[in-house]
Structure 1
Amino acid sequence: MSSNKDLPTYDDENESKFLRKAKESPFVPIGMAGCAAVVAFGLWRLKSRGDTKMSVHLIHMRVGAQGFIVGAMTLGVIYSMYKQYLAPTDPGEDSK
């Protein structure tokens, strides 16, 4: 019978998958962190919103978070297009 120490654990498998995906598209974790930062800032500012209605404050928070995510996605697409079409390639890779 084979031993279980050679098999990757569930945590190792998920961690390596996340790191692999983050290396393939680095702007996804940046967008997620930015969204979390905008939400945290909006919640922090919630206590000092003054006479602004709650719904208006939440709409502004949502628009800020969505804007950050759309910006990160746009930068990610531009980065991947650069890597695919404009980045200098190794002459040895073309012969493969």
Structure 2
Amino acid sequence: MRLDDYDYIMVFTSHYRALYIYDRLRLKNIKTKLVTAPNKIHISCTQALKIKEEDRENIKIEIERNNIYPTAIFKIIKNGKEEDYELIE
């Protein structure tokens, strides 16, 4: 796995929420990547967070602690250089 490979992408209801939880996770040294939400899964906000499988439980705890929940979570499916998304939550 490359350093920048992520397993899931979370989308939020607002740019503020995505930025806030990104900052909280960064302070806990949990590696995430703040990205523009792909058009395929763009729901209401243009920001999303990419996360790794091994950090998922810690991220869930931090999300509950801060009471900021994602609108949806998608599994990233690699198709060569393309990405597809499968809704899981």
Q: Give me the TM-score of the superposition, normalised by structure 2.
A: 0.24
Judging by fraction of residues, say which structure has more strand.
Answer: 2
Query: Hey, which of these two has a bigger chunk of helix by percent?
Result: 1
